[in-house]
Amino acid sequence: MLRGIQAHDVMADNLVRIPPDLTLQDAVDRYFMRYEHSAFPVDEQGRTIGLLTVRKVRRVPSDQWPLAACEITWSRSAARSWWRRIPPWIR
């Protein structure tokens, strides 16, 4: 069924990227509600450092969204280095 179809045939281009210092509330309001995407690359100084997904946002209680920065929720490898700063509801 997918024979002959390459990744570039179905991939999204011109990705909407978000900064790591954005709060989850802003990410939800300005990105997830505006665009019909389930994930956004998190970029810092032109370099992709992780991926913020709807699934990861849902793990954080919504009353904490205004306080939580995207940078502490985006990637497992980065989270290891931030572990001491990650609130218990993300762990």
- DSSP of the chain: --TT--HHHH---S---B-TTSBHHHHIIIIITTS--SEEEEEETTEEEEEEEHHHHHTS-GGGTTT-BGGGTS-HHHHHHHGGGS-TTT-
Task: Tell me the per-residue pLDDT of 19-69, one tens digit each, with 9 for 90 and over.
Answer: 988 899 999 999 999 998 999 998 888 888 888 999 988 988 888 888 877
Residue ranges of the domains in the chain?
A: 7-83
pTM of the model: 0.69
Domain 7-83 adopts which CATH fold? CBS-domain (3.10.580)
| Per-residue confidence (pLDDT) for residue 88, from 0 to 100 | 52
